[in-house]
Structure 1
Amino acid sequence: MTISNEAVADMETVELEPLREDKKKIFEDILKYFETHQRGYIKVPTGWGKTFLSKHIMKKYYDDGKLVLFLVSKNNPLLSQTYYDRKKNQPLFPNSALLSSEHKEDRKELAKTLKALGKGKGKGFVLFASLQTVLGKQGAEIKNLILEHTDLAIVDEIHNFINNRGNDFLNELGERTKILGMTATPFQGVVGNVKFVDEIAGDMREVYAKTLPECILDEELAPLKYTIAESSEDIFEIFDFEKGLDELDKQDLFLDCSTADKLKKVVRRTQLAKDVYDSMVKRKNAKTLVFCAPVRKRVYGAGADREEINAFHAKLTASVFNGEISASKLGKDSDPVLPLDFDNYTPDGKFRDAAFITSELPKDEQSALLAAFRDTKKPPYVLCTVGMLIEGFDFPGLETLILLRPTLSMRLFEQQVGRVTRLSPVSGKGKGHIFEISDSIDSLYQRFGEGVFNGEKVDQVQMLQPEIRLEELFSEGDAALAIEEGKIEISKVDLSNLKKGRGKGRGRKNAQAVEVPVRLPPTALRAKYFSRLLAITEEKDVGAFEREKRELMRGALRFRVRELRDAEELSTLCDQVNKLKREAYEDRRLGDVSRQHKPKVFGEVEWLLKLQALNSLKYAGDRISMPEKNKILKTLGFEPDMRKIDSHRLKCLKIGSAQKTIPDLVKVLGFVSRLSSSETYQFLDKKKKDQWKREFLPAVYWGFCFIDASPELKELFESTEWDRRVKNIIRQK
C-alpha cells in the first residue's frame, strides 16, 4: 500500500532541489494569482521544467495541510514519474497515493484518508491520478470525495481536457478548489478547427508564458537545428487522399501501401531518411527517434493472409535503417520483397541498432526497449514509432528526431519538436537535430483547384509545408535573435550528391548532403500559394465572391515583414492584385453582380496585405534599423517616414474597408460578437447567416489588425465568449 502512515510521515520530509531565482519569481506570482483567482494555466515549452515547478507548488499546499490532486488525462508513465522520487526509489510525498490503471490502490483506505482530510483531521496529502481511473466504474466514491475536498488541482497537459469529459470534471470541482493547468500547447485540433484551453471555463486565464525561442536564448533548452529534406515525391502519390481534401480534417495523413508501386514509393521515401541520417548524423551512436506515418489500408505483399499490420511504417523504417530493405533492392518490375516477420532482436537476443515500439508489444518488452534506448551506450540507437512517445516521453539524451509523418496539428508538431530540446549534461548534447522529409504539395492545387477554398482547406494544405509550420512554431518570441546567434538553424538539404553517391564503394560513403539556409518568414513561399488562389479567383464568375474574399483575407493576415526582401515580395504581390482589380473592372464576361463585387474584393485584399505589412513593421520591427524601415515603407508605396506609420495604417483601413475608422470597427464587431455566439447563430435564418458572412466577417480581419490600437477591440478579441467560429478566422497559432 502506498499511503504512508503518520509515523512515517513525521520521520520523512519532502526534499526538492531549490528553484532558480527566475523560477522562484514565477512560483511566487502563481501563488499570488491564486489568492484572488480560481483557475489559470502556464504555457511553457516541453522540457522547460513545469513539472518540477509544480512539485514546489504541491509542497507549499502539502505543508499547509491541504489536499492536492495531480491529474493527467491518461499518461501513466508521466504520472508515475512525478509520483516517485527516483533517487530514493520511493514516493516523493510521504503522505500520498497513486491512482491509475497500472497501479492498484486500496480504495477503502484512500476514501478514509480523504474523508479525514475533509474534516480537517489529516495532514497534507497529494493524490496522483489519471482522469480515466477517477471516472471509472469503481471510482464513484473517490471521485465525489475529490470533488468535495480538493484544495488544489494541478492538471498536466491540460490541452487534453478541452471540451470533453475532462473539461466536465474540472467544472464539477467546487469553488474551494484552485485549478492550475500546465501545457506546452494550449490548443487542440487541426488548422481551421482549433479549440483553446481558455474555453474550458470563462475564468481560465494564462498566468505565465514563455516561448521556445526565449527558452533557447536563456539556455533553458538546447539549441535547435532543423533540416528539411525534400523527397521530390508527389504527396498525392504517397499518402491516401481517398476522400479528397477532407483527409486534411484529421491531424495526420495516412500512407497508401496498397499496391506494389505505392509500396515502392514509400520505401524510397523512407530510404531517403536513412540516406540523410547516414550523411548528416555525425555520431552513429547518437540516440534518434523516428516518428512514422500511420497506414490505413492493408499492405501489398506483406502480412499473413493479407491481414493488416499494426504500425507497419515503424516496422518498415526499422528494417530500412537496419539495411534489411532498401530502395536499390526493389527491382523495377519485381514485387517488393519484405520480411514476413519484423523483429527487434539480433540472433543472440540483443536489440538491433534500429528497433520499433508499438502498443501491441507486451508492457515489459516496451519497458525494456525504452530502458535500452535511454542507455547511450547500448542499442537500439534508432527507435521508430507511429503515435507513441509524442507526449510525456522524458529523455534529455535524445539528440536526433526524424519526422516521416506530415501533421495538420500544430499541437502535435510542437510536442514532437519538444522531444529533442531538453538539455542533457550527461550525454553532452550540443543541440537538438530534427530532420523532416517533405513532399511536393503542388499537385493538391492542380488536382483540387477551387476546392482548396472549401472549409478553410487553404491553411490546411499550406501547413503540409515545413517552412510554414516552422513560421507558426516561431511566431512568438524573439526567434530572429535566436537565428542570428546561431541557436536556431533552419536549412534545406540538396540531395543531388546523395543520389549520385548511392550504391557500393567509396562514392556512397563519401556522399555529402549540401545544406541551403531557409529564411523565415517564408514570404516567397506564401506569395506563391497566394498567387495560386488569386489565379483561381481570376477565372471565376460567382456573384459576390464572399468565400473567395474570406480566404484571400485570411491568407493576407499570414504575411510577415522582417526585412526589405519581404516587403519587395509583398509589393510585387500587391501589384499583381491591383492589376487583377483593374482587369475585373473591364471584364465584360462577368455577370452584373460579379462585375460589381470582384474589383472590390481585389481592392480590399490589396490594402489588407499592405496593412499587415505595416503592422509587422510597427509591432515586430525592433530589430530593423530605421533607414531600412523607411526603405520598406517606400517599397510598399508609402511616404518613407516611420513617424507617420499610424496614419499609413488608417489610410489602408479607409481605402480598403467598409468601416472607415476604428470606432466603426468597434461598433460592427460588437454586433458580430453578439451574433457569433452559438446560442444566437443557430437561430439565424439562412438569409441572416449569409448577411453575417458577407457584411460582418470581413470586419474581423480588419479589426484584428488594430487590436493594439483600441482597448475595446483588444477586450473583444481576447474574450472567451467570442465564438470559436470567429476565433479560427484570425487564428495565429
Structure 2
Amino acid sequence: MTSLNEIPARTESVELEPLREDKKKIFEDILRYFETNQRGYIKVPTGWGKTFLSKHIMKKYYDEGKLMLFLVSKNNPLLSQAYYNRKKNQPLFPNSALLYSERRVDRKELAATLRALGQKKGEGFVLFASLQTILGKQSAEIKDLILKFTDLAIVDEIHNFINNRGNDFLNEFGERTKILGMTATPFQGVVGNVKFVDEIAGDMREIYTKTLPECILDNELAPLKYTIAESSEDIFEIFDFEKGLGELDRQDLFLDCSTPDRLKKVIRRTQLAKDVYDSMVKQRHAKTLVFCAPVRKRVYGVGGGDKEINAFHAKLTSSIFNGDISAKKLEKDIEPVLPVDFKNYTPEGKFRDAVFISSELPKDEQNAILAAFREMGKPPYVLCTVGMLIEGFDFPGLETLILLRPTLSMRLFEQQVGRVTRLSPISGKQQGSIFEISDSIDSLYQRFGEGVFSGEKVDQVQMLQPEIRLEELFSEGDAARAIEEGKIEIKKVELGLRGKGKGVKIKEVPVKLPPTSIRAKYFSRLLALTEEKDVGAFEREKRELMRAALKFRVRELRDAEELAKLAANVNKLKREAYEDRRLGDVSRQHKPKVFGEVEWLLKLQALNSLKYEGEHLSLQEKNRILKTLGFEPDFRKIDSHRLKCLKLGSAHKTIPELVKVLGFVSRLSSSETYQFLDKKKKEQWKRELLPAVYWGFCFIEDSPELKDLFESTEWDRRVKNIIRQK
C-alpha cells in the first residue's frame, strides 16, 4: 500500500516541454472559454497530443494553487502515463497522487490531504484517479471531498461517461468545478443507437475540434494507407447470425467456428491476411497489430464439452502467422486438426515472431509481451488481440494494423485506426498502414429480405462495407485534399497466383470516395425489395429509402451519372406502381407516392452536396453535373432547383411549412413528451412527421429557424441519430 507520505511537498516547479504556437492558441482559447463556461470538450484524433495539452492546463491551475482531478474510466495504463514523468521516473506534479484499483493508496491519508488542501487553499494538487475507484465503497469520503473542493476536472476519453454512472458523477459537481473533456470519438454505441458527449449535460459544448485528415495534412499525424482485401467468403458463412439481423445491434460480430467447414473458412480468411502481409509489408521487422474477432460458440475440435477458448481467434491468427497452421495444409483434411496449446514462446523461451495477448494471461506476462513488442528490431513483430489495446495503447512505432473484425461502432473503428497514425522519430516510419479483410454482405439482403427495413438495419448492414465506414471516417475535414496529395491512400487488392511455387500476386486498385457505386448497388437492392411488396402504406420502406438517399454525395461527374441512373429507375418504379393491378387499394394509393418522394429527395441531396461540397469543381463541371441530373445547366439557379425538389417531392411544399412542422416534431420528440405518447401517437409521429426531418435537414443553411431547431439540445436521441449520422 502506498502512503501519502510518499507524495513530496511542492518544492520544485513543474517542467514541461513548451507548446507549439498553434497549440498555444488552443490552450489560451480553452482558458478563455472557462472564464464564462463550466463544461466543454475537445475532439482531436488519437496521437494529436491532447494529454500533453491537458498537462499544460493543469500546470496553469497548479501554479495558481488549485485542486485538480484527472479522471479516466477503465484505462489505468493511460492514467499512469499521465501521472509519471518517465524521463525522471517520478510524478510529473510534485504534489499529486495516483488512485486506481491496482495501486492501493492509504485512503484516510488521501482524504486528510484533500480536506486540508480544500480548507487551506494556495497549494496546487492533482489527483489522478479512475472513476471505478472513486465510486467504490472504500472511497466514499474521497468522492465527497473531490466534489466539494475540485477546481478543475479533466476527463480523458469522456465518451465513456455518456448516460452512465460516470455521467451521474460529473453532474454531481457544483458550479465551482470546471469540467474539460477530451476525446477522439465524442459518441458511443452502434449505428442507429448512438449517444453523444453533448448529452452528458445541457451546458456541455465542443470547444475545439480537429479532424484526422487535417492533422495528417498539417504533419501532426503520419500519412495513412488503407488497403481493403476482399475474401471470397460470404459473411453469413463466417460470422454467427444465430439471432438474425439482431446480431448487428452489437459492436462486433462473432466468428462461427463450430463445424469443420466453418472453421476451415475462418482459417482461409485469416490466411488471406497473412498472404497480404507477406506480399505488402516490405519491412519484415515492422511492428504489426492484429485486431481479431470474438468467438461465441465452442470451437470445433478444440477444448472439451462446451468449454469456450478465450481469445481463440487471436491464438489462431498468431499460429497462422508463425506458419504452424495454413489453409493449404488443411485443404485435403475433411476435419481440420488444430493444436490444443497455442504457444507464444520458442523452445528456448524467447518470444516467437507472432504472439497473442489476452486477459487470461497473468498481468506480468501481459506487461512482458507489451514491453517486448515496443522494442524495435526484436520479436515479437506481430501482436494479435481481440478486445485489448483498442483504447489507450500508445506505441508510436506501430507501423501496420490488420483488421480481421468488422465493427458496427464508428467510435471503435476510429480508435482502431488511431493506433497507427502517431508519428515516430524512433522507428522513422513514413506512413501508417492498415489492411482490412472484408467479406461479401450481399447474402444479408437475400436471406433477410424485408427484414433489413426494421429499425436501423439498413445502416448497420452497410456499415460492414469498409468503403462506407471510411467515408464516415473522412466525412469531416479536408479528406479530399489529403487524398489528392497522397497523404491518405485507399486501395483494394486483387490476389492471384504468380505460378506454381512463386507465391501470391498482388494488384492494387485505387478506391474512390465517396463510394457512390457501392451505395447505389445497395440502394437498388432496397428498391427491389420494395418493388416486390404489397404492404399497405410502405412507411418503413419510405423512411429507410429516404435515410439511404441522404447518404449520397456528388464529388465528380461519375457520381452524378450513378445518381441519375438511380433516379430514373425510381421514376420507372413509380410509373409501374400506378399501373400495377396486383396491388391492394392502400398500396396502390401509397406506393407511387413513396417512390416519388424518394426520387426528388435523392436529387435534392445531389444538389446539396454540389452546392456545399463542390468548391473543388469548376463552374463548367458543376453545370455538366446539373445537366446530368436533369436540371437546367446553370449553377446560378441551384437554389431554385433545390426548392423545385421540395415542392415536387415533399408533403410540405415550402421552407416555412417545414419550419412549422419541425417545430412540432421538436416538441413531440423531447424525452419529456415522447415517453407519454401512446403507441398510436408514436406510430403517427414516425409515419407523418419523421420524413419531414429528412427534408428539413437539406435546408438548414437556408433558414435560421431550421438551423436553430437542428442544433437544439432539446431534440430527442432518435432525431439526433438521424441528423448526425447522415
Q: Same fold (TM over 0.5)?
A: yes
| Structure 1, 624-633 or 317-326: larger mean CA deviation | 624-633
Which residue number corresponds to residue 516 of structure 1? 509
Query: Aligned partners of 1:725, 1:485: CA distance in 2, in Å?
Result: 38
Change (3 A) 1:5 1:234: closer
Letter in 2 for 1:639: E
Corresponding residue of 1:83: 83
Aligned-pair CA distance for 1:349:
0.6
The equivalent residue for 2:294 is 294
Report if aligned partners of 2:65, 2:121 keep a CA contact under 8 Å in 1: no
**For the Cα contact (< 8 Å) 1:5–1:95, is it kept in 2?**
no
2:661 aligned partner: 668
Cα distance in 1, alignment partners of residues 117 and 327 from structure 2: 64
The CA deviation at 1:307 is: 2.3
1:593 is matched with which residue? 586
The equivalent residue for 1:34 is 34
Count of matched residue positions in the alignment of Structure 1 and Structure 2: 725
Question: Which of 597, 618, 622 in structure 1 is aligned with 2:611?
Answer: 618
Query: Who is 2:412 aligned against?
Result: 412
What's the offset of the Cα at 1:120?
3.1
Deviations 1:440-465 (A, max 9, x none): 00010110011100111000000000
Partner Cα distance (2:138, 2:8) in 1 = 30
Name the stretch that deviates more: 229-238 or 589-598. 589-598
CA contact (8 A) 1:2 1:98 kept: no
Determine if contact 1:72/1:131 at 8 Å carries over to the other structure. yes
The answer for the alignment partner of 2:205 in structure 1 is 205
Match for residue 360 of structure 1? 360
Tell me the amino acid that sits aligned with residue 646 of structure 1: D
Q: Structure 2 regions of 5+ residues with no counterpart?
A: none
**CA separation of 1:4 and 1:670: change in aligned 2, threshold 3 A:** farther
Within the candidate set 684, 705, 709, 1:691 is matched to 684
1:527 aligns with 2:528: no
The aligned runs of 1:27-106 (5 Å cut-off) are 27-106=27-106
Q: CA 1:8 to 1:139, structure 2 compared with 1: closer, same or farther past 3 Å?
A: closer
State the match for 1:718 in structure 2.
Answer: 711
3-state DSSP class of the match of 2:241?
coil
**TM-superposition CA deviations, 1:287-333 (whole Å, max 9, x none):** 00000000000111112556211000000000000000000111434
Q: Summarize deviations over 1:567-600 as a string: whole Å, max 9, x none.
A: 0000010000011111111111112211111111
Shift of 1:334: 3.0
Counterpart AA for 2:335 = D
Contact 1:3–1:94 under 8 Å retained in 2: no
1:554–1:730 Cα contact (<8 Å) kept: no
State the partner residue of 2:148: 148
Report the 3-state secondary structure (helix = DSSP H, G, I; strand = E; otherwise coil) of the residue aligned with 1:411. Answer: helix
Please tell me whether residue 248 in structure 1 is matched to residue 259 in structure 2.
Answer: no
Q: 1:623 to 1:2 in 2, by over 3 A?
A: farther
Superposed CA deviations along residues 5-59 of structure 1, whole A, max 9, x for unmatched, are: 897412x210000000000000000000000001100001111110000000111
2:607 maps to a residue whose letter is: L
Change (3 A) 1:646 1:467: same
Q: Give yes or no for contact 1:4–1:94 (8 Å, CA) kept in 2.
A: no
Aligned-partner SS, 2:48: coil
Equivalent positions of 1:148-547 (< 5 A) are 148-304=148-304, 307-497=307-497, 505=501, 507-508=502-503, 511-547=504-540
Deviates more, 1:268-277 or 1:686-695: 686-695
* Deviation of 1:692 (Å): 1.2
Where does residue 563 of structure 1 map in the other structure? 556
CA deviations on 1:86-119 (whole Å, 9 max, x unpaired) are: 0000000000000001111121111111111221
Q: Does structure 2 conserve the Cα–Cα contact (< 8 Å) formed by 1:116 and 1:122?
A: no
Secondary structure of the 1:227 match is strand
Structure 1, unmatched stretches of 5+, are: none
CA shift, 1:425, in A, is: 1.0
- Which amino acid in structure 1 is aligned with residue 439 of structure 2? D
**CA offset digits 1:497-530 (Å, max 9, x no partner):** 3xx55x7x4x12xx33100000000001000000
SS of the equivalent of 2:40 reads strand
Report whether the alignment pairs 1:646 with 2:646.
Answer: no
Q: TM-score, normalised by structure 1?
A: 0.97
Matched residue SS, 2:355: strand
Do 1:449 and 1:536's aligned partners in 2 also have CA atoms closer than 8 Å?
yes
- Provide the C-alpha distance between the structure 2 equivalents of 1:18 and 1:121, rounded to a whole number of angstroms: 27
Give 1:576's aligned residue: 569
Superposed displacement of residue 176, structure 1:
0.7
Q: Does the alignment pair 1:633 with 2:634?
A: no
| 1:300 match: secondary structure | coil
Provide the rounded CA distance (Å) in 2 between the counterparts of 1:154 and 1:512: 51
Residue 2 of structure 2 is aligned to residue 9 of structure 1: no
**Secondary structure in 1 matching 2:171:** helix
- Residue 673 (structure 2) pairs with residue 680 (structure 1): yes
- Residues 66 and 121 in structure 2, CA contact (< 8 A), matched pair in contact too: no
CA contact (8 A) 1:113 1:122 kept: no
1:385, distance to aligned residue in structure 2 (A): 0.1
Structure 2 counterpart SS, 1:282: coil
Displacement of 1:686: 2.7
SS at match of 1:577: helix
Q: Is the Cα contact below 8 Å between 2:7 and 2:96 reproduced in 1?
A: no
What secondary structure does 2:547 align onto? Answer: helix
Corresponding residue number in structure 1 for 2:18? 18
Work out whether residues 3 and 96 of structure 1, in 8 Å CA contact, stay in contact via their aligned partners in 2: no
Contact 1:250 1:408 survives alignment (8 Å): yes
Contact 2:8–2:95, Cα closer than 8 Å, also in 1? no
Change (3 A) 1:121 1:31: closer
CA contact (8 A) 1:2 1:97 kept: no
Contact 1:4 1:96 in 2 (8 A): no
Question: SS at the partner of 2:636?
Answer: helix
Q: Which amino acid aligns with 2:373?
A: F
Equivalent residues of 2:496, 2:505 under 8 A apart = no
Task: State the SS of the aligned residue for 2:505.
Answer: coil
SS in 2 for 1:393: coil
Moved more, 334-343 or 426-435: 334-343
1:553 corresponds to which residue? Answer: 546
CA RMSD of superposed structures (Å): 1.2
CA distance in 2, matches of 1:335, 1:674: 61
Specify the code of the residue in structure 2 equivalent to 1:288. Answer: T
C-alpha distance in 1 between matches for 2:574 and 2:388: 50
- Which secondary structure does the structure 2 equivalent of 1:436 belong to? strand
What is the distance in 2 between the residues matched to 1:688 and 1:305? 51
CA contact (8 A) 2:8 2:94 kept: no
Q: Distance in 2 between matches of 1:122 and 1:354?
A: 53
Counterpart CA distance in 1 for 2:50 and 2:77 is: 16
State the alpha-carbon separation in 1 of the partners of residues 601 and 379 from structure 2. 55
Which of 107-116 and 678-687 deviates more? Answer: 678-687
How far has the Cα of 1:731 moved from its partner? 3.1
Q: Give the CA deviation at 1:679.
A: 2.3
Contact conserved, 2:73 with 2:130, CA < 8 A, in 1? yes
Decide whether aligned partners of structure 1 residues 593 and 449 sit closer, same or farther in structure 2, where only a CA change above 3 A counts. same
| Percent sequence identity over aligned pairs | 85
User: TM-score, normalization: structure 2?
Assistant: 0.98
How far apart, CA to CA, are the structure 2 residues paired with 1:304 and 1:533?
44
Shift of 1:378: 1.1
Q: 1:70 to 1:6 in 2, by over 3 A?
A: closer
How far the C-alpha of 1:681 sits from its partner, in A, is 1.6
The structural deviation recorded for 1:478 is 0.7
Q: In structure 2, what is the Cα distance between the partners aligned to 1:152 and 1:351?
A: 44
Task: Tell me how far apart the structure 1 counterparts of residues 660 and 605 of structure 2 sit (CA, whole Å).
Answer: 22
The Cα of 1:335 is off from its aligned counterpart by 1.6
SS of residue matched to 2:666: helix
Q: For residues 347 and 552 of structure 1, do their structure 2 counterparts lie closer, same or farther at Cα, with a shift above 3 Å needed?
A: same
Match for 2:337: what amino acid?
V
